Chains A and B, each alone.
Chain A
């Protein structure tokens, strides 16, 4: 019995994915859990794994194609079983679409190609039963599962055709939630009338992402941007998934979030001395960023009003402290999260930050590792930025922008002295944080960094 493989939501915000490379070719035998393809999501390159065993009968889309979440990408079934085109699998395999093509052709509009491919596939399905080579549909294998999937207006989360031939019945809201959270509605027991899946049936269901530990043999996709030199005045580069997400999220941020900014200049003499002393112990290096993350976490613990999420109709104040740290990667940026940062030692934070940043650059973070921050920090000090304002990553209510540590002439103890100073600017969502609230948090942070013993107090 043929099973459709659909593009799965492999990250919480993924709406479409690009097939980077097919790992299984048409005609290959696949077992449940086998990696079928590498898929570039909006955040990372992930593995699309088989949910059914059998023979990979057909690639519905070629490598390089971008496909909306829940649209079919391949078919798994019994060898020789009829698929779309009506011919046994061997036929299409013969004139198989070239699979392991290198990254997407830059000129290809990301959404059109798969749409076209999809439509062609569907029309092909109609002819399936008429084709002489196709086995007649049996009771167990009605035509419905393959042909029923309706026009492009179909709900986004429509699940692959169930084995029994009926469609998955789910409320529109349940379908929306499933698409957002990457849930597979197939097999979910619906508690509504006639087994309709409703919102409450999805409580506590896990995302259908592949296990995080699975090694990803695929090299990250090459950045789509090519250095010019061809003499063209400009080059049109399609948006990568990550760039789309950045644009959407940041516009979302600057639009509806009433942001204000608070800047503070912190004397870093004692932190610098402390860091030097710590690093001299020879037990691993700690950076100013690590120290700042630790101080931010401890200050958040004292100022829960700044450790909060705006939730449209309520504010979620977090008791746990999870600090996101913006990491620049060639394709954009990503914000891995140091969980329970307030409870971790500087040494743990330093090791974790380094490890996360490394994997972020390789785009090997799992969604769990870059979501769920309660507050974020962004550091451009290493690029000699004095101070800047960072854009809030919703639903978080604040982000701290860290400038460079610079030697400045300041009045200290009645005399002008050259001291190492650092400017930080906090962006605050005024719906959650008021001016004085943010200022008090910054005051605590400043006091901690100016007296770093507070970090171990």
Chain B
């Protein structure tokens, strides 16, 4: 079998059960303590302790030079972040949500992602853009969007999407230390999730997926909020005798191709779940990889579970129907298993 870097975490000690929100806060605090070049900037991050309270207490500890409230001007403060990264700081730029980061996408795509390349390697841009992405509950079409495939499309960016508190902390620390610009997409519905998080120093490597549940019959590839969806589906499937392996990508780009391929080569069946729209989504990329590299291992076409191909409805029932959920995932799994007449 092949050698792989440790899947979960490096370093660690005892475990505490904390929220995803506090795990991110710990990561910020520890990295700001560790490296004076790290600073946090964004709307409401300082005096208000963060729109989602991720940065609670940081202003008191580090002061207004390192925890900076900005005007409601995403393009402007994203640009300030990129500029400061180019001259040696390691900014963490909080976007209140990734929907608002659309205003700043020129700085992310045309500045941050291009600086190292267009300066011939002379100028780096070690910056993290972070904030919640995807839908919450009834925030309607403009505030319920999953943009990971947009950023993952761009060479020069890394895209990281933790699904658990432990990964949130370990991955954010790795993202801050990474010398590339990192798009770090959290989830509003994940902030209250509780889980075991190792106390103190540890990091989770970027580009390494994680088997969240082992299984032999089918592989479910997922990330961020769909990890919980897939785990729930897997639990229900187990009751029907189907052992699904759940692989959390954790990092969308660079993609852990080996984790995907080795699992699917073993299970011969694959379903990819994601929150976003189907067209040109992350799942499409995974399907391309799987059919290209291990065609002969497939016993069925790879199927995708995605959000509906519509602007997110405000209506509660319609919103529910538009989201990827365990029932849709189970249906897809049964199709690749030929378990139901199709």
**A interface residues with partner B (beta carbon < 8 Å):** 155, 171-176, 191-193, 198-200, 256, 312-313
Name the 10 nearest CB pairs between A and B, nearest first: A173-B299, A176-B296, A199-B299, A171-B299, A172-B296, A172-B298, A172-B295, A193-B342, A173-B268, A192-B338
- Provide the main secondary structure of the chain B interface: loop
Q: Are A198 and B266 in contact (CB under 8 A)?
A: no
For B201, list chain A residues within 8 Å (CB): none
- The residue on A at minimum CB distance from B214 is A313
The CA of A256 and the CA of B300, in the complex, are separated in Å by 30
From the candidates A173, A200, A312, name the one contacting B298 in the complex (CB within 8 A).
A173
CB A174 to nearest CB in B, in angstroms, measures 7
For B1, list chain A residues within 8 Å (CB): 256, 312
Known A-B contacts A199-B268, A313-B266; the reply to A173 vs B297 at CB < 8 A is yes
For B299, list chain A residues within 8 Å (CB): 171-174, 198-199
- The residue on B at minimum CB distance from A173 is B299
For A312, list chain B residues within 8 Å (CB): 1, 266
Q: Are A176 and B297 in contact (CB under 8 A)?
A: yes
Q: 29 A–B contact pairs at CB < 8 A?
A: A155-B296, A171-B298, A171-B299, A171-B300, A172-B295, A172-B296, A172-B297, A172-B299, A173-B268, A173-B296, A173-B297, A173-B298, A173-B299, A174-B299, A175-B296, A176-B296, A176-B297, A191-B338, A192-B300, A192-B338, A193-B338, A193-B342, A198-B338, A200-B338, A256-B1, A312-B1, A312-B266, A313-B216, A313-B266
Q: Are A198 and B297 in contact (CB under 8 A)?
A: no
Contact flags B156-184 to A (C-beta < 8 A → 1, else 0): 00000000000000000000000000000
The CA of A155 and the CA of B297, in the complex, are separated in Å by 12
CB A68 to nearest CB in B, in angstroms, measures 15
Most interface-central of B268, B296, B297, B300 (chain A CB within 10 A): B296
Most interface-central of B266, B297, B299, B342 (chain A CB within 10 A): B299
For B266, list chain A residues within 8 Å (CB): 312-313
- The residue on B at minimum CB distance from A157 is B296
- The residue on A at minimum CB distance from B298 is A172
For B268, list chain A residues within 8 Å (CB): 173, 199
Q: Are B300 and A198 in contact (CB under 8 A)?
A: yes
For A193, list chain B residues within 8 Å (CB): 338, 342
CB A73 to nearest CB in B, in angstroms, measures 23
- The residue on A at minimum CB distance from B294 is A172
- The residue on A at minimum CB distance from B1 is A312
CB B248 to nearest CB in A, in angstroms, measures 20
For A173, list chain B residues within 8 Å (CB): 268, 296-299
For B342, list chain A residues within 8 Å (CB): 193
- The residue on B at minimum CB distance from A171 is B299
Contacting residues of chain B (294-331) with chain A, CB-CB under 8 angstroms: 295-300
